[in-house]
């Protein structure tokens, strides 16, 4: 690990999970962005290069041969070799393993194939919004932001939507695992595996693995037209997918398929409530729906960073990077980079530049669910507009204690001026 240069020791801390209880520490990121070169950020026994500007995040993201996803870990802390193998998912691979695993699921998530789910998404969304209005509001996360994406991804997977609440509960524990304070004991859910071998060091990962194994056994003799059946067929040929790859893929699809879009919708609701004039512009001109969905994604930045590891000595922003150094792409910062986004702290539903990094900074790890998430956010805005739902925030958000997931656990909302 490279020694920090004298100039870098003043880098403000952006990893303390408790900071995020108050939201993204944007002032700290702005300070790092304004400092020439890359900032060295101390972390545990070592540290990492904090990549905070849009152009440089893009460079790291788009050059996987220089910046590997398969070495060390894609989170800030390194894993032991056996833990990395046990936990390795699509996220933690480089080509050719990444290409092989990605192709197994990519077909379900292409823009063309995602469009086939539009009516399903619309029906689920309409039902949730009608209930939200009928109840006079409530917890926006509980009533809309969480159930919409989990019901959609479970439908695609072929998992019973009756289990949505349980799988959201597991996801909440996984988010806790990305922070520094877990509320459940190591043996929760009957777990006996060492936590370091489980994704996010969470016993909830054991429960999700068990659930995925149950689905695998069910589908093995009863193949259907769903994503789990597709994976089970692939897993029957070890050249295509191993059992361990199956369980990590199932884990990833359920967790990333619900938690991230939930976060986007949570922040989206908060933004629409905070900037009613902007929502008013959308209501007056439905042509702004697409750009407002992109602005919500930029605003929300559901995944705040990903880490890479340098495969060779290289250089970025004039700063030398040594082979083996950790390099962390802070999407949360790049999405507020004043060099790319004019007036970046303004929520602007007609923003012309949609080059945000809500789905990563480009390159092969482009979010698998990007087009599904766009569909969900777009349909939500369309259905809200159709019902003339304006949101009023009734309580402060409870935010996740995490520097990784920009999660909102709850936030009160009520409809104002609905036409029901």
Partner 1 sequence: MAGEEMVRVAVDQELCIGAGVCELLEPEVFELDNDIVISSVTGDELLPRARADVVVDRCPSRAIAIVEEEL
Task: Quote the CA–CA distance of 358 and 17 in Å, as a whole number.
Answer: 20
Q: How many residues bind to partner 1 according to rule CB under 8 A?
A: 20
211: number of Cβ within 10 Å? 20
Sole binder of partner 1 in the list 33, 53, 98, 351 (CB under 8 A) = 98
Closest approach of partner 1 to the CB of residue 295, in Å: 20
Choice between 98 and 399, CB closer to partner 1 = 98
The yes or no reply on residue 26 touching partner 1 (CB under 8 A) is: no
Residue 176 neighbours by CB under 8 Å, 6+ apart: 182, 183, 184, 202, 400, 401, 402
The yes or no reply on residue 363 touching partner 1 (CB under 8 A) is: yes
The yes or no reply on residue 99 touching partner 1 (CB under 8 A) is: yes
Stretch that binds partner 1, among 66-74, 107-115, 162-170, 214-222 (CB under 8 A): 107-115
The yes or no reply on residue 123 touching partner 1 (CB under 8 A) is: no
Task: Quote the CA–CA distance of 194 and 180 in Å, as a whole number.
Answer: 17
7: number of Cβ within 10 Å? 13
Sole binder of partner 1 in the list 31, 362, 392, 418 (CB under 8 A) = 362
Sole binder of partner 1 in the list 1, 9, 34, 106 (CB under 8 A) = 106
Sheet holding 39-43, edge to edge: 39-43, 46-51, 326-330, 305-310, 67-68
Site for partner 1 in 173-192 (CB under 8 A): none
Which residue bears the tokens 């990590």? 248
The yes or no reply on residue 116 touching partner 1 (CB under 8 A) is: no
113: number of Cβ within 10 Å? 13
Q: Which helix (H) or strand (E) holds 308?
A: strand 305-310
Sole binder of partner 1 in the list 6, 22, 81, 112 (CB under 8 A) = 112
Q: Two tokens at 344?
A: 């970046």
The yes or no reply on residue 236 touching partner 1 (CB under 8 A) is: no
The yes or no reply on residue 354 touching partner 1 (CB under 8 A) is: no
Choice between 3 and 107, CB closer to partner 1 = 107
Secondary structure (DSSP) of 91-126: GG--TTHHHHHHHHHHGGGSHHHHGGGHHHHHHHHH
Site for partner 1 in 364-403 (CB under 8 A): 364-366, 371
Closest approach of partner 1 to the CB of residue 106, in Å: 3
Closest approach of partner 1 to the CB of residue 100, in Å: 10
Q: Two tokens at 375?
A: 């569909």
Binding site for partner 1 (CB under 8 A): 62, 95, 98-99, 102-104, 106-107, 109-113, 362-366, 371
């Amino acid at each position: 690990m490279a020694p920090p240069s004298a100039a870098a020791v003043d880098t403000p801390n952006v990893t303390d999970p408790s900071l995020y209880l108050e939201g993204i520490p944007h002032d700290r990121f702005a300070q790092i962005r304004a400092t020439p070169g890359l900032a060295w950020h101390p972390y545990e026994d070592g540290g990492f290069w904090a990549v905070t500007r849009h152009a440089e995040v893009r460079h790291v993201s788009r050059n996987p041969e220089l910046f590997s996803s398969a070495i060390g870990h894609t989170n800030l802390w390194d894993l032991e070799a056996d833990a990395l193998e046990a936990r390795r998912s699509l996220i933690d691979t480089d080509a050719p393993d990444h290409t092989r695993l990605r192709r197994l699921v990519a077909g379900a998530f292409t823009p063309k194939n995602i469009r086939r789910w539009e009516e399903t998404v619309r029906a689920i969304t309409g039902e949730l919004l009608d209930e939200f209005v009928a109840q006079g509001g409530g917890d926006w996360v509980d009533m809309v932001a969480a159930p919409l994406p989990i019901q959609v991804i479970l439908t695609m997977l072929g998992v019973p939507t009756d289990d949505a609440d349980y799988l959201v509960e597991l996801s909440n524990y996984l988010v806790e695992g990305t922070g520094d304070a877990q509320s459940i004991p190591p043996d929760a859910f009957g777990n006996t595996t060492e936590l370091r071998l489980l994704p996010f060091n969470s016993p909830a990962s054991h429960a999700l693995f068990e659930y995925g194994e149950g689905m695998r056994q069910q589908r093995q003799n009863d193949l259907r037209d769903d994503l789990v059946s597709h994976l089970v067929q692939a897993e029957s040929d070890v050249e295509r997918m191993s059992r361990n790859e199956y369980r990590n893929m199932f884990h990833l699809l359920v967790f990333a398929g619900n938690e991230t879009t939930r976060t986007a919708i949570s922040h989206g609701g908060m933004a629409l409530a905070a900037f009613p004039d902007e929502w008013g512009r959308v209501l007056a001109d439905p042509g702004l729906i697409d750009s407002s969905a992109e602005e919500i994604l930029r605003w929300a930045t559901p995944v705040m960073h990903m880490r890479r590891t340098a495969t060779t000595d290289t250089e970025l922003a004039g700063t030398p990077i040594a082979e083996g150094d950790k390099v962390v792409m802070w999407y949360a910062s790049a999405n507020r980079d004043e060099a790319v986004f004019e007036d970046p702290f303004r929520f602007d539903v007609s923003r012309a530049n949609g080059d945000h990094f809500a789905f990563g900074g480009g390159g092969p790890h482009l979010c698998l669910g990007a087009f599904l998430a766009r569909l969900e956010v777009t349909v939500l805005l369309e259905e809200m507009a159709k019902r003339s739902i304006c949101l009023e925030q009734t309580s402060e958000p409870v935010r996740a204690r995490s520097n990784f997931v920009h999660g909102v656990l709850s936030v009160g909302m009520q409809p104002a001026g609905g036409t029901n």
